[in-house]
Amino acid sequence: MNISNLKSRFPVFKKNPNLVFLDTAASALKVDEMIDATNNCYTNEYANIHRGNYELSSKLTKKFEDARKKVADYLNTSENNIIFVKSATEGINLVASCMSKRFLEDGDEIILSYLEHHANLIPWHLIEKKIKIQPLGLNENSEINYDELNDKINLKTKLIALTHMSNVTGSITNFDKVKDIVNKNKIPLLLDGCQFAPHKKVDLKVLDPDFYVFSAHKMYGPSGLGILFMKDKWIDEFSPYQGGGQMIHDVDIEKSTYASGYEKFEAGTPPIAPVIGFSSSLNFMNETDPNVIFDHEMKLHDYAYEKLSKFNNIKLYGSNKNKGAIISFNIEGVHNSDLGAMLDKKNIAIRTGHHCCQPLMKHFNVAGTSRISFGVYNTKEDVDYLVDSIHEITKIIL
């Protein structure tokens, strides 16, 4: 597949051919194959799945479960470990709530980092048990300071929960540095793959986390669907997160028993059409090849990083190494929200603000940054237009 310009695969560019979309980290644009599959599902295939003893239902049930297998294959794991939830956020809330019920005591500790998105912080604030959060600090390149890991682990440490790739700096976590310590101390590992999984091959056999979460909407897929990988041990030992249809074994008025396996965590009608649509997003990812996508995006990143670093009084957050294609910056005297609004007038979409990472903003001593993030559809021309536009805007403001 020719990856140098894939805009023709994204229908939004038919209506708005000059759109320069640099906010893929928030949510990716939608690929034609996914839109067609979702449309076809609702138009021709739709019925509620599981338990329907008629053809429409059984056919769609098969497609839905085939999609679970496709997700598992993409991650190099088993479909028995894939749980469909509404978002990565819900996936982390599910793990936090289930851990709190049976595996955490008041005074226990979990290790996170200053790079975490609020989705991997607040669920831990909300649980009933009063745990202590031990944050890993950052080094001079704003990468996780792995040296702190040994000091922060103790007998009360019950989980290490880290982002796989920062949504602000793009920094990719080096799990070679984490795994030895995790294995030696037998501490469960949760990885937030929201920013990594849409851009590079994920191999869960190699990473070997206890939990891995990401959202379909950041992978050219539908909103309303998150993927939670959970190891067998936790599937067996956790109690259900929510109750309702489908997750049961037997129900009386006063009590119930629950399904075993991943079904225990999928109460109610699942996100049927999003799962069918996401299966087609994965076809697109596989056809394009995630590692080719990564190289394409990193070429654009390096080109943009070099051009941006030439601006007077620009501060680029994080380093340009060991990372994915995200750049956060501030230009002295230009408020990030003004820059975002003025770029919008030029049909360029970037994200500004705290990016749901207030602890990291506090570490940088800023209220927010401008962030550009690349997707498979971006081109060198997009970067040229962005940089020329920032030049024009800074001339007006400064």
* Active-site position among 41, 98, 356, 357: 356
Considering the complex, what minimum distance in angstroms separates the CB of residue 6 from ligand PLP? 22
Angle in degrees, CA 321, 322, 326, rounded to 5: 75
Q: Angle at Cα 265 formed by Cα 262 and Cα 269, nearest 5°?
A: 105
Determine which residue in the list 24, 38, 89, 378 makes contact with ligand PLP, applying CB under 6 A: 89
Q: Which two tokens stand for residue 18?
A: 């000059």
Site residues for ligand PLP, 29-88, by CB under 6 A, read: 87-88
Helix axes 272-288, 290-309, angle to 10 degrees: 80
Q: Which is nearer to ligand PLP, 28 or 153 (CB)?
A: 28
Contacts (Cβ under 8 Å, ≥6 apart) of 346? 20, 385, 389
Residue 165's identity, in one-letter code, is: M
> Residue written as tokens 């598992």?
72
- Compare residues 199 and 231 and give the one whose CB is closer to ligand PLP: 199
Residues 323-342 touching ligand PLP, rule: CB under 6 A, are none
Q: Is 228 in the site for ligand PLP (CB under 6 A)?
A: no
Per the CB < 8 A criterion, the answer to whether 147 and 176 are in contact is: no
The smaller minimum CB distance to ligand PLP, of residues 373 and 389, is found at 373
Q: Does 373 bind ligand PLP (CB under 6 A)?
A: no
Residues 93-122 within binding reach of ligand PLP (CB under 6 A): 117, 119
Characterise 395 by phi-psi region: left (phi > 0), alpha (psi -120 to 50), beta (else).
alpha
Number of residues lying near ligand PLP (CB under 6 A): 13
CB of 115 to ligand PLP, least distance (A): 8
Where in 166-185 is the site for ligand PLP (CB under 6 A)?
A: 167
Query: d(Cα 261, Cα 342) in Å, to the nearest integer?
Result: 51
Q: Per rule CB under 6 A, is residue 267 in the interface with ligand PLP? A: no
Q: How far is the CB of 324 from ligand PLP (least distance, A)?
A: 11
Separation between Cα atoms, residue 199 and residue 115, nearest integer Å: 18
282 binds ligand PLP (CB under 6 A): no
Which structure tokens are listed for 354?
């705290």
The least CB distance from residue 225 to ligand PLP, in Å, is 9
Near ligand PLP by CB under 6 A: residue from 93, 157, 163, 281? 163
Q: Report if residue 215 touches ligand PLP, rule: CB under 6 A.
A: yes
Contact status: 394 vs ligand PLP (CB under 6 A): no
Which DSSP symbol is given to 212?
A: E
Could you tell me if 337 and 331 are in contact, meaning their C-beta atoms sit under 8 angstroms apart? no
Q: Which of 376, 294, 292 is nearest to 33 (CA)?
A: 376
Q: Which residue has the tokens 């609020």?
A: 118
Instruction: Specify whether 356 is catalytic.
Output: yes
Closest CA to 287 of 45, 6, 78, 53: 6
Which of 89, 336 has the CB closer to ligand PLP?
A: 89
Smallest distance from ligand PLP to CB 372, Å: 14
Tell me the closest approach of the beta carbon of residue 284 to ligand PLP, in angstroms.
19
The answer to whether the beta carbons of residues 31 and 288 sit under 8 Å apart is no
Shortest Å distance, C-beta 77 to ligand PLP: 20
Nearer residue to ligand PLP within complex by CB, 194 or 247: 194
Q: Which is nearer to ligand PLP, 195 or 394 (CB)?
A: 195
Q: In the window 187-206, what residues touch ligand PLP (CB under 6 A)?
A: 192, 194-195
Report whether 227 contacts 279 (CB < 8 A).
no
Backbone region of residue 206 per phi and psi (left: phi > 0; alpha: psi in -120 to 50; beta: other values): alpha
Catalytic residues, which ones? 356
Q: Which residues bind ligand PLP (CB under 6 A)?
A: 26, 87-89, 117, 119, 163, 167, 192, 194-195, 215, 226
